Amino acid sequence: MIKVLTIEREYGSGANEIAQILAERLGWKLWDQLLTTEIAHHLDCPKLHVEAQEERRDPLYYRLFKAFLRGSFEGSLNAHRMKLADAEGIRSVTEKLVRRAAAEGNCVIVGRGSAYYLRDLPDAFHIFVYAPFEEKVQRLQRRGKTEQEAIQLAETVDLDRAAFIKQYFGVDWPARHYFHLMMNTTSGDEAVVQTILDAMRACSRTPVG
């Protein structure tokens, strides 16, 4: 029986909206912005300590850090709230939170390496959503980004995500063999959601949704 749904995605492909609809349809807990909030809470530390550590951080940590946080809600970056020494600290705490959420079950987890952490979990279903570049730019513009901002984000965020996955999991993002289903979101959010629910039913011993 499927109890966990992870959603990995290309930036701007609409995964956050799709995840929210899925969580509502399933009646499951959504770990998206909530996960970022929990990470921030667990990694809070004194300001002076952070200031002492920041200058010694490798610039790569900043890139991975930003790629990680951009999973919370496309275009909303909460980095200023996070008081953290290094990216390994993020990774360690996030793994614990993701595994805890999965153990509780009945949850939708967006990004943060969740598909990779939970790849061997028998009751987890992993999907990857993507879209053509132009479609991602248009979606980001509909969220309030300028065309230049949307293009820059669509070109760079996934490179940072790929670097993070390569750094911590040793695979080339997105590592297609980790996913049960990969979908192009140009068919529309509702069509994508219904296809995912149908696929989950087909893979589950008991009906979902």
* pLDDT tens digits, one per residue of 87-111: 677 778 889 999 999 999 999 999 8
Identify the CATH number of the domain in which residue 103 sits: 3.40.50.300
For residue 84, pLDDT over 80 is answered with no
Reported as a single tens digit per residue, the pLDDT across 153-190 is: 899 888 888 888 888 889 999 999 999 999 999 999 99
Length of the chain: 209
Return the pLDDT at 45: 45
Distances (CA, A) of 49 to 54, 76, 85: 9, 26, 8
Query: Which residue, 106, 94, 42, is CA-closest to 69?
Result: 94
- Say if residues 97 and 29 touch (Cβ distance below 8 Å): no
- pTM (predicted TM-score): 0.80
Residue 186 lies in a domain: yes
Residue 66 lies in a domain: yes
Find the helix or strand (DSSP H, E) in which 170 lies: none
Return the pLDDT at 2: 94
As to burial, measured by CB atoms within 10 angstroms (0-12 exposed, 13-18 middle, 19+ buried), residue 202 is exposed
Amino acid at 148: Q
Residue 208 lies in a domain: no
Residue 49 lies in a domain: yes
Return the pLDDT at 70: 57
Residue 151 lies in a domain: yes
As to burial, measured by CB atoms within 10 angstroms (0-12 exposed, 13-18 middle, 19+ buried), residue 95 is middle
CA 20 to CA 28: how far, in whole Å? 10
Residue 209 lies in a domain: no
Residue 161 lies in a domain: yes
Reported as a single tens digit per residue, the pLDDT across 21-72 is: 999 999 999 998 787 777 777 766 433 332 333 233 345 555 555 565 555 5
Domain range enclosing 81: 4-203
Return the pLDDT at 181: 96
Residue 96 lies in a domain: yes
